[in-house]
A = this chain, B = another copy of it.
């Protein structure tokens, strides 16, 4: 082998403007606006836009922001439901090299104030619906950002807080604004704060390269054809809607916006707009399954693809969706890995299994996206991979191009997250012999009883199979003899009753006895703003049960 610098394949064959440009999802909207200018880009209430119009509006936004003094590396925050402006911000903001910070609309004023301050937002685009909490948040800030109101006719109430509204603001911008790709594809494109059950939220930074790759990764992982109709049941503020604002631009699809995610609106959109794809938390799928029959829509001219994350879809949900013409796939991810970058890729060898068997496979989180590089389950400390036996629980590690730049202004957390050359998810799981991942727990959620690990998710899965159970959460409860034992918190279906003894017996029939909960508490479950059960509160409660 020649010394590298003398190798003829390297000599004089470097990058130049003809053969290298930064990877950025902004490339896609430019192409789609040119090739499919008259295709429908957005359905939002009564409003309709084409890709030519959407592109012009995004350029107007970029131009107006520039005129307002925003430039490369500045933060533009947005507090909005899944509406037109929210989608457009995913293009208009990075067109001038600025960074889009989507805020979780369910947060309290203090947390929002922390984010606006930590992220140093220069501009805040905010929807009237959230004016009360935003007013309080702004009251806590030393330096106020420029406020731009989203004045959406679909929402009544809420004050206008700024000097200008979004439509007037972009009206001042140039629809032919000449924007440029970032000079460096590693440049930041978005900032997303993780909810974090303890401590301050951490600001996850994505770059143009990763957003580009995941935009395309969604197409491959979801086997998506051109011109999909994507229904926004997933909050766009959550991991930038799993990068779907950019995916839909890449494949010239249609965004169907939803201000409020409820069964009637979902089925209405499916019926009226030819929806082909949507993503939703388990709670969304449950709402659809449990919707009144006259609201439900059964689709026969296509199979609607649905991805879900957060908890495995139970057999009843899979079957319920299938009976309405929908196919559900579980995905797994975290804000740090651009949303789902693991998905339960289907294999035709499983087509003829029973629903129960298929549900067991669909309960697995699956395999890496095409554009994520590696996934392993390994020892938390040594990073020694666990055997792929479907049993040995280890921490889930991910590495590849769909992993964040790091946490903003938090080098300690960034270094910890990337220690050993892998991103530490903090989740515990097993790899099955075919390499498919199954999440067993958050590392801090596992129950260690008599020295044995008990996956709380496994116990919850059994509880969910009981017909009376609507929701279930299991946590560790301190125990003098065993160290810890599983304690279950259960919400029953309306109008159904059962007992603690009955549920514990049910669990003992369906799993190893030591894994069955020793106590069951009935009532509603406390949840975070993103709908996650707050297990730390349940743990406190379980501890108090001993008193």
Contact = CB atoms under 8 A, between A and B. Distances in A.
Contacts of A225: 223, 225
B406 A12 contact: yes
A1 B70 CA distance: 8
Contacts of A37: 434
Given A220-B219, A401-B23, A16 B418 contact: yes
Q: Copy number in this complex?
A: 2
Contact of A373 (B21, B220, B417): B21
Given A220-B250, A349-B38, A73 B9 contact: yes
A21 B399 contact: yes
Contacts of A414: 12-13
Interface in A4-37: 4, 7-21, 23, 27-28, 31, 34-37
Nearest to A402: B19
Given A73-B1, A347-B35, A347-B36, A19 B401 contact: yes
28 contacts: A8-B120, A9-B187, A9-B188, A9-B205, A10-B188, A12-B406, A13-B188, A13-B408, A14-B186, A17-B399, A18-B398, A18-B417, A18-B421, A19-B399, A19-B403, A19-B404, A19-B405, A19-B418, A20-B401, A21-B373, A23-B401, A27-B370, A31-B368, A34-B435, A181-B373, A216-B216, A216-B370, A223-B226
Contacts of A434: 34, 37
A2 interface: yes
Given A9-B205, A34-B435, A220-B250, 20 more contacts: A1-B71, A1-B72, A7-B72, A7-B73, A8-B409, A9-B73, A9-B187, A10-B188, A11-B411, A18-B398, A18-B422, A18-B423, A19-B401, A19-B403, A19-B405, A19-B418, A21-B400, A21-B401, A34-B367, A38-B349
A445 interface: no
A34 to B, nearest CB: 5
A345 interface: yes
Nearest to A24: B373
A156 to B, nearest CB: 38
A251 interface: yes
Contacts of A191: 9
B250 A27 contact: no
A99 interface: yes
Residue among A4, A18, A99, A406 with max Cβ neighbours from chain B (10 Å): A18
Nearest to A23: B401
Contacts of A8: 120, 408-409
Nearest to A6: B73
A74 interface: yes
Contacts of A421: 16-18
A346 to B, nearest CB: 9
Contacts of A216: 216, 220, 370
A408 B10 CA distance: 9
Contacts of A418: 16-19
A414 to B, nearest CB: 6
Nearest to A419: B18
